[in-house]
Chains A and B, each alone.
Chain A
Amino acid sequence: MNSKPCDSNSSTVREALAFSAKNAPPENGIRLYDRRGQNSELRNWSQIQQAAHDRAARLASAGINRGDRLLICLPTSWELLEIQLGAILRGALPVLVAPAAALGGAASHARKVASLLELLSPKRLVCDLATRNELLEFDCAEAAGYSLLTEELFELPVAPNALYSAQPDDLAFLQLTSGSTGRQRAVMITHHNLTQHLQALVHLSSAAPCTPESNIVSWLPLNHDMGLVSGLMMTMYHGIKLTLFRPDAFLARPKIWLQALSAFKASHSAAPNFAYQLCTERVDPAELAGLDLSNWQIPLTGAEIVRPDTCRAFSEKFAPFGFQTNCFLPSYGMAEATLAVTSDQKRQGIRTAPVPRGSSGNEANEVVCNGVPIRDTEVRISSSAAPGTWLGGDEIGEVCVRGPAIFKGYYNDRAATADALREGWLHTGDLGFMSGGELYLTGRIKDLLIIRGNNFMPHELEWIADDATGGGSSERSGAFSVTRGTDGEQAVLVVEVSADKTKGLDQDIRTRVGRVLGLPLADLVFVKRGHIPKTTSGKVQRRELKQRYLEGKLERIAAAQETE
């Protein structure tokens, strides 16, 4: 098809939704699948706009006003889509929080939701009965008191004049970036950030720009920036088609993603590396008769480290079904930049370069090219040794980004904002270099674990370990991630203990981490007191710790068994 790239230029979400409701073909909208990914219902942009208006009016009756934070904890559903858009139209700030993990997540999920009350002081928490019950059962009665069930909301009267005429510089929503308990951060995104970004995303691949005929398949969670921006917001803004699944439907049966791509001749679909890996491992080609992936112009891979071996295996397995290897589109981004920062424009598939000298802590021997900065966005490399000094090509330093989509700061967290935003530049905490104008990532300065596209702060693991050992606030543990073959990043925890006190501790810590964070530990290492490297002020040096771990220089006591 030769149609022109999408050229919507609305400056707020309300304007964009009105534009799509009026101008998009009536068959364009969201096709939403049920919990099992089997049956679907299509609603067009006009219907979605009407529902969002209705929800805005009922939110007004619930006392939700301009600027109020509205916590929303719902699975991917019409209710979630309508209430979220309705909240934005009302001028409130929706904050999406993921529902409990599939197994065993109830207690830690309740605490997570409760901890968000402190950070965000939301007016209400919109959720389902399961979440309200979970809050009551796990001693979060105060949080339960904020809860407003969707059916309760929908019974409230429709208030008149509920829509707010947002200005481009008004905040549109808050995006949670990491954390299960404590240390959560909420990224502030304005209408200007979002709308400018959605225009730039049209050209994420200049060879295959987004057009009015494009259609997107997504199973990514809407509480994640990639699902929210590249799925829902992108299609809403340009009035194109979205086929939407719940994340658990994909995880349960990965083949439904590929089948939907084929059935709807989808052009765009994004996913983290682990999803491509899951398809290579769990999808049986015998069940894919008739599958046609040849329309998939933009198989975007991002939100976690792109692994060349995963891309190769996926290409090999699905090339017989029309998958075009050269289309694989690595893209680098983060919630603080609304979504994307760079994307590969060459359409030669995954390209790699050898790891340059001096990139410590890197376990791979090749690094993936993440392409050039997206439209209107600048990327520079800052010296990590001499902050404030920009580096030239092929020199490794901190990746810094400037452009219209850079966020306004972290909500209610001045210190973190001042650290991330300096003189108009977002300091990403990622390490990399530019070569030929293209970005290569080599590691991370910031202490962060990115596992299956989800961010975890090392403190989250360390506090659990310190709790278990009775270490209190004395920093007796260090957490970091290592790359384990096709599994991608995995969590490792190193804990200082007295040799005579390890009994049962291995099991205790692993269980606590599993219950609270939903993470299996790839390794749990016990070392003697004083064997975790610390700064003079007593802070754990996690990068040094990881280096010693990788080099096998940590002296284990009561060696904890590795899981496979």
Chain B
Amino acid sequence: MTPKQELVLELIARVAKKDKSFIQPAQDLIADLGFDSPKQLELLTEMEDRLQIEIGEDDAARINTVGDVLDYVEKKT
């Protein structure tokens, strides 16, 4: 896992209010980690700020799982 992916895992854990060790790539952000719309936006904003990237809305609309986020970060940065 790259340092950026590690950072994203930390962000997901923090927004989900879970321990980082609990977060797994197969988890669905909404169904398993309880990401309602405020939490979704909190995560996207944190990612944009911390990684200095801009996440397109159409890209975000296709992200469902923790793994999707990790893949996206890998491709984008």
Contacts and interface: CB of A to CB of B under 8 A. Distances in A.
A515 B64 contact: yes
A520 B34 contact: yes
Given A252-B42, A252-B44, A253-B45, A109 B61 contact: yes
Contacts of A251: 37-38, 40-42
A101 B34 CA distance: 14
B57 A282 contact: no
B30 interface: yes
**Residue among A102, A248, A251, A563 with the most chain B CB within 10 A?**
A102
A47 to B, nearest CB: 27
A248 B41 contact: yes
B60 A511 contact: no
A101 B31 contact: no
Contacts of B62: 104, 106
Contact of A563 (B34, B45, B56): B34
Contacts of B71: none
Contact of B28 (A75, A100, A278, A510): A510
Interface string B15-55: 00100000000001111111111101111110000000000
Nearest to B18: A564
Nearest to B62: A106
B45 to A, nearest CB: 4
Contacts of B64: 103-104, 514-515
A404 interface: no
A518 interface: yes
A134 interface: yes
A123 interface: no
A227 B27 CA distance: 34
Interface string A108-133: 01000000000000000000001001
A99 interface: yes
Given A251-B37, A452-B36, A518-B37, A104 B45 contact: no
Interface magnitude class on chain A: 20 to 34
B58 A520 contact: no
A514 B68 CA distance: 15
A320 B45 CA distance: 28
A105 B36 CA distance: 12
A507 B31 contact: yes
B28 A564 contact: no
A284 B70 CA distance: 29
A519 interface: yes
B63 A100 contact: no
A134 B58 CA distance: 8
A104 B61 contact: yes
Contact of A102 (B17, B33, B40): B40
A99 B56 CA distance: 13
Given A104-B29, A520-B31, A130 B37 contact: no
A101 B30 CA distance: 11
A189 to B, nearest CB: 26
A521 interface: yes
A513 interface: yes
A280 B37 CA distance: 17
Interface string A497-530: 0000000000100111111001111000000000
Nearest to B38: A251
Contact of B31 (A133, A253, A511): A511
Contacts of A104: 29-30, 61-64, 68
A102 B61 contact: yes
Contacts of A518: 30, 36-37
Contacts of B34: 520, 563-564
A193 B6 CA distance: 54
**Residue among A104, A274, A452, A512 with the most chain B CB within 10 A?**
A104
A252 B41 contact: yes
Contact of A103 (B17, B32, B56, B60): B60
Contacts of B45: 252-253
Contacts of A510: 28, 31-32
B44 A133 contact: no
A507 B44 CA distance: 24
A104 B31 CA distance: 11
A133 B29 CA distance: 23
Contacts of A109: 61
Contacts of A100: 57, 61
B21 to A, nearest CB: 16
B24 to A, nearest CB: 12
Contacts of A99: 57
Contacts of B17: 564
Nearest to A524: B31
B74 to A, nearest CB: 17
Given A109-B61, A251-B37, A103 B44 contact: yes
Nearest to B58: A130
A514 B30 contact: yes
Interface in A378-414: none
Interface of B: 17, 28-38, 40-45, 56-58, 60-64, 68
Interface of A: 75, 99-106, 109, 130, 133-134, 248, 251-253, 274, 278, 282, 452, 507, 510-515, 518-521, 563-564
10 contacts: A102-B57, A103-B29, A103-B63, A104-B64, A109-B61, A251-B42, A252-B42, A510-B32, A520-B31, A564-B34
Given A104-B30, A248-B41, A452-B37, 20 more contacts: A99-B57, A101-B40, A102-B40, A102-B41, A102-B57, A103-B30, A103-B35, A103-B43, A103-B63, A104-B29, A133-B58, A252-B41, A282-B38, A510-B31, A513-B31, A514-B28, A514-B30, A515-B31, A520-B31, A564-B34
